Amino acid sequence: MGNIYSPGPHLCPQCGLPLSPTAILCPRCQSVVVASQHWEAPLLDKRGITPAAKRRTGMIWLGVLAANIAAALMVGLSLWFSDKSPAAATIFISSDFTLVPGVMGLVGAFCWKDLRLSSVEYFLYSLPIAAVGLVAGGIFMGEGAICLLIVSPLLLTFVFLGSLLGRWLFALGSKTLNMSLAPLALSFLMVDLFSPHHFASSVSDTVVIKAPPAQVWAHLAVVPPIPSKPDFWLFRAGLPYPVQATARGVGVGATRRCIFSKNSIFEERITHWEPGRQLTFDVTHQPSDPEILGHARVLRGQFDLKDNGDGTTTLTGTSWYELYVYPAAYYDLWAGSIARQVHLRVMTHIKTLSESGH
């Protein structure tokens, strides 16, 4: 990049003091020189095919490759230790989605440290790092498109932040500090791997129905087929959505099947049966496909009816679930949102049926 200032005499317009070509604040009268008098837009790289440009492109892709090799090593280590840690055997720990991408960014930044990239470029070059990581996750870990879609913002964010952290650290040039990064990252990984993980949560939603509780109750255990197409974008993207519920028998101990699209079926056993008041069921079996369901387990569901005394009923649907993927603060946003959309689809259908007198 060339000199960003135009050459030639440069005088303060207020007091006439000769200034250096780069000065824009007069040291005598403190007045500001108008930008247009001396400012020229800089000439930026046009990315011509020069040896320097080729080297730059090569280093960028080297960063992408090295970052993913580092990630593969860390995830491999994490999986190997998972076999030895009962706490982490069936879950994806926070480090897999925060520390590993952060290290990916750090490794990328190490390869890019001499390229004088802007933050915007760090962000843009974090995209291929994250994309390669996602594709590798899809191929080697069997994750589906929706899982990858959900994880992508988290992955990209931490790759980018790791790269910015790396840019700063590597500019400091402290070899001691840089060398301490690897054991520090491994220590965090080990602590996370061998720490106990448990996260359970619940989501409740309420709908007011213009029908008495008895009329609403008739549609709770057995939900007739829902004809409408889903509105929620994840359902439209391929995530199974509820279409019907069937039941065998009545009362406590009866079985219920909540049927989702793509023939995904949740088997349930009714644990509380109070006509016109409450229906509670435990989920005894849930489908293993799509793969997203392997990262969470629905424990229980409940419909609660409240007679409002004016011919209307307040229907509250609640789901309890466990997450096996961390950080829970992030994934619970998705799980809660999906559970809410399941509730609303079913409860809106119940409302329509009840209010139409079916």
Q: Which residues bind another protein (CB under 8 A)?
A: 1, 4, 19-20, 22-25, 27, 30, 32, 35, 39, 41-42, 44, 116, 118-121, 123-124, 153, 156-157, 160-161, 164-165, 167-168, 171
C-beta of 99 vs 216, nearer to another protein:
99
**Cα–Cα distance list, 175 to 178, 181, 209, 235, 331 (Å):** 5, 10, 67, 50, 37
Consecutive H or E run containing 323: strand 313-323
Side-chain half-sphere CA neighbours of 33 within 13 A = 22
Q: How far is the CB of 122 from another protein (least distance, A)?
A: 9
Give the span between the Cα atoms of 249 and 254, in whole angstroms: 5
The 3-state DSSP class for residue 143 equals coil
Q: How far is the CB of 141 from another protein (least distance, A)?
A: 24
Provide the sign of the torsion angle of the four alpha carbons 215, 221, 222, 223, taken in this order.
positive
C-beta of 136 vs 164, nearer to another protein:
164
Structure tokens at 230: 């889903």
Q: How far is the CB of 58 from another protein (least distance, A)?
A: 20
C-beta of 27 vs 86, nearer to another protein:
27
C-beta of 31 vs 50, nearer to another protein:
31
DSSP 261: G
Structure tokens at 6: 């135009």
Q: CB atoms < 10 A from the CB of 254, how many?
A: 16
Q: How far is the CB of 191 from another protein (least distance, A)?
A: 17
Q: How far is the CB of 9 from another protein (least distance, A)?
A: 15
Q: How far is the CB of 3 from another protein (least distance, A)?
A: 9
C-beta of 32 vs 79, nearer to another protein:
32
C-beta of 21 vs 76, nearer to another protein:
21
Nearest to 190, CA basis, from 80, 106, 323 = 80
